[in-house]
Amino acid sequence: MNHFHAVDGTLFCEGVALETLADRHGTPLYVYSRAAIEEAFSAYQTALAGHDHLICYAVKANSNLAVLGLLAELGAGFDIVSIGELERVLAAGGDPGKVVFSGVCKNRADMLRALQAGIHCFNVESEAELETLAAVARENDLIAPVSLRVNPDVDARTHPYIATGLKDNKFGIAIDAALPLYNRAADLPGIRPIGLDCHIGSQILAIEPFAEALDHLVRLVDQLQDQGISLQHIDVGGGLGVSYQGETVPAVADYVAALTEPLAGHNLTLILEPGRSIVANGGVLLTRVEYLKPGRHKNFALVDAAMNDLLRPALYGAWQDIVAVAPSQAEATTWDIVGPVCETGDFLGHARELALTSGDILAVMGAGAYGFTMASNYNSRPRPAEILVDLDCSHVVRERESLQQLWAGEATLPGKPR
């Protein structure tokens, strides 16, 4: 079900009109639907019901405490890539025993904190990281549960910046180097190898690359078994992509079937780390049209959200739908939707057919994933507020940053007047 729906040209999130939220809380404003997020998570749970599994939601997609809290309540585990993400999960009531720690460059302090919190598994990406983790665990009389992230050299057919499973990418351990490293891990005091993982990329719209990667992983698990190393889980990384521009997305049930069938006969828990597919379509970014600047060559609609609020269009050339939240009397024409930041790359959309008047509120759709989490203070712009809608109620789940917060922690030189 679409939880962002229009009634007579007025766009609602569940039972709340988006224009009302923009008027009440100002813009730019992120708005999330509780029902949409829960539904997306439940689709994975339902599809995986017949198989031993753990869904570790990728916190980097949307790390708001309210989002993490509601997923924790539904039984989610979490995929983290920093101590900041771990502390968020704990603050939101998440279970550290269901946390997997990914990332190419964990430092000793990260490792110690995660060991002390009792996370489920470290997804280790290099021999040097494995040795460091072993040392940190030994020094503290702890045992680190470990999975090696292998790089299966599979083409995920996605944007090059978010393809991670090719041998050219910085991620993971070359698959042919994994066997000796597992043997090393099994011998290392302080380390307990329990799993095997990969993550080949994001916004993947075909099942085949996942299946191909899994095939490599299953073969490795069998080889390890032959050498007396038996693992408890296999982790296939991030989830499916989403439809931003009418792309066809495989059904979660088909994707899950493609991942569980090759595991038949293996006594392995399947771990998935979906992020985007849980939250992307559960969120929008609201922005107000400040000025219209029609021209002979181009028409620009200057809006109050910018690349610092939503980076995906500027960084990846990503296309996200932009719609008016209320009916307009204006004539539709073609607009470039651009923000106030001083860069030509600061756009939300090019050549969009919209009927606009200054003061109108627009919604950038599919903004629940990699939206707020990639926001910055560039151009000294406070980051937006975030709202979570639950039926007819809306909750401020993060206040708009204040101007003072922009320079909190900074100082002028001693003795210089302020």
Tokens 């379509």 identify what position? Answer: 281
DSSP, collapsed to helix, strand or coil, labels residue 2 as coil
Q: What is the torsional sign of CA 222, 225, 227, 232?
A: positive
Q: What is the torsional sign of CA 407, 409, 413, 416?
A: positive
Which of residues 85 and 360 has its CB atom nearest to ligand LLP in the complex?
A: 85
CB 63 within 8 A of CB 85: yes
Q: Which residues contact 155 (CB under 8 A, 6 or more apart)?
A: 163, 165, 166, 209
Tokens 């939101």 identify what position? Answer: 92
* Residue 48 main-chain phi, psi, to 5 deg: -95, 0
Give me 89's structure tokens: 């999960």
Closest distance to ligand LLP from the beta carbon of 263 (Å)? 19
Distance separating alpha carbons of residues 200 and 357, to the nearest angstrom: 43
Buried b (16+ CB within 10 A) or exposed e, 362-396: bbbbbbbbbbbbbbeeeeebbbbbbbbbbeeebee
Residue closest to ligand LLP (Cβ): 238
Closest distance to ligand LLP from the beta carbon of 276 (Å)? 3
Distance separating alpha carbons of residues 258 and 242, to the nearest angstrom: 18
Closest distance to ligand LLP from the beta carbon of 388 (Å)? 20
Give me 268's structure tokens: 């392995």
Closest distance to ligand LLP from the beta carbon of 162 (Å)? 5
Closest distance to ligand LLP from the beta carbon of 198 (Å)? 9
- Per CB under 6 A, residues contacting ligand LLP are 58, 61, 79, 102, 162, 199, 202-203, 237-239, 273-277, 312, 316, 370, 374
Which of residues 171 and 182 has its CB atom nearest to ligand LLP in the complex?
A: 171
Q: How far apart are the first and last CA of the chain?
A: 55
Strands (E), 199-282: 233-235, 269-272
Closest distance to ligand LLP from the beta carbon of 274 (Å)? 4
Closest distance to ligand LLP from the beta carbon of 57 (Å)? 9
Which of residues 104 and 397 has its CB atom nearest to ligand LLP in the complex?
A: 104
Which of residues 300 and 319 has its CB atom nearest to ligand LLP in the complex?
A: 319
C-alpha dist (Å) from residue 39 to 32, 174, 288: 13, 36, 29
Which of residues 185 and 242 has its CB atom nearest to ligand LLP in the complex?
A: 242
CB 81 within 8 A of CB 297: no
Give me 334's structure tokens: 């073609």
Closest distance to ligand LLP from the beta carbon of 111 (Å)? 17
CB 333 within 8 A of CB 247: no
Which of residues 170 and 298 has its CB atom nearest to ligand LLP in the complex?
A: 170
Which residues form the catalytic set? 342
Which of residues 161 and 407 has its CB atom nearest to ligand LLP in the complex?
A: 161
Which of residues 190 and 195 has its CB atom nearest to ligand LLP in the complex?
A: 195
CB 195 within 8 A of CB 234: yes
Selection from 316, 249, 241 nearest residue 274 by Cα: 241
